[in-house]
Amino acid sequence: MDKHRRQHEPDLLQAALTAVQLPGLQWEVVEREPGGQATRGDAVLCLRFDGRELRYVAELKRGLRRATLGAALHQLANHGEQGLLVADYVTPPMADELRRRGVQFIDAAGNAWLTQPPLHVWVKGERPKEALAPPTQGGRAFQATGLQVLFALLCRPAAVDLPYREIAALAGVAHGTVGWVMAELPQLGFVAMLRKRRRLIDAERLLKRWVDAYPQRLRPKLLLGRYDTRKLDWVEAIDATRYGLLLGGEPAAARLTQHLRPGTATFYGNKVEPNLLTDQRLQPDRNGNVEVLRRFWNFEGETPGMVPHLLVYADLLAIGDARCLEIAGEMHAGIAAGFA
């Protein structure tokens, strides 16, 4: 296994396989990070039982929550019926949700849902006996301000070779933050020197890690306000720039694809204009269907009046319902093409 890759994840994998040692089941790790590509999963597993063999492609996730479930489901969709979610802990409500969505899983507490006939395993309610060691990699690169730097590089891969001060301006962070992040990226296997110039490498794997971390470590810090409205019809035609805002999430995806009716509305900007609240009759509500988030980058997106497409993609994964995951899947190829 490449020393630059996620060295802490085999510990999670082994802990889960050990916890789900049920009578008659035998696990084998066939390959870790097959092909070194994010779309091929984190590991290939073989499960033997009753003279049969089943193959799984595992996606490893720590701290699984509703906000990160969408990204996990999106990644598992690449593997079809062989997809297996391996987590540190799956709560009983999350276990029910995964089963409802047809997602097979195991965790380090011994919970599991495996269903490939004639195999059927359903265990929930087991609690972790001890906490797993925290991840040993990621450092500042995957903290909030580091994620801002990574976002700028994923949106503009050529920017990785710019002076640090220019990268800081694009990312909306201090010059020193870029220095910390850029020192880590070669160690993590995401930046290399080619012909005396820095190059972003393995960008799809970096994207995978970014969309996992964004809803946990950066997005919650961006909330400027959340509101509720009974009807969202106005979202489909609104000129958000009138209020100093950009479209994100479902409204942006609806305009890009023309086949999504928004169930929530996400906007990014520097502040919440009072006129927006009065014009659209928005009422403050911590569980509302309209949110305004702080804009954290300083460059234009691909579509006027809209956040960069990568952020639309991440917002859809954070929402996580079937409609949004379908659109995110359609968007992925276009985003990945920008890394070529």
Question: How do strand 283-284 and strand 290-294 relate by DSSP bridges?
Answer: unpaired
CATH 3.40.50 for domain 9-123, yes or no, is no
Contacts of 244 (CB under 8 A, 6+ apart): 269, 270, 271, 273
Locate the domains of the chain by residue range: 9-123, 141-201, 219-337
Give the pLDDT band (50/70/90) at residue 138.
low
Tens of pLDDT, residue by residue over 202-249, are 999 999 999 999 999 999 999 999 999 989 999 989 999 999 999 999
pTM: 0.89
**How high is the pLDDT of residue 129?**
80
Please provide residue 66's backbone torsions phi and psi, each rounded to the nearest 5 degrees: -60, -35
141-201 CATH, one of 3.10.310.10, 3.40.50.150, 1.10.357.10, 1.10.10.10: 1.10.10.10
Tens of pLDDT, residue by residue over 287-303, are 999 999 999 999 999 99
CA nearest 312: which of 291, 328, 296?
328
Residues 169, 173, 179: CA angle, nearest 5 degrees:
95
Strand partners, 167: none
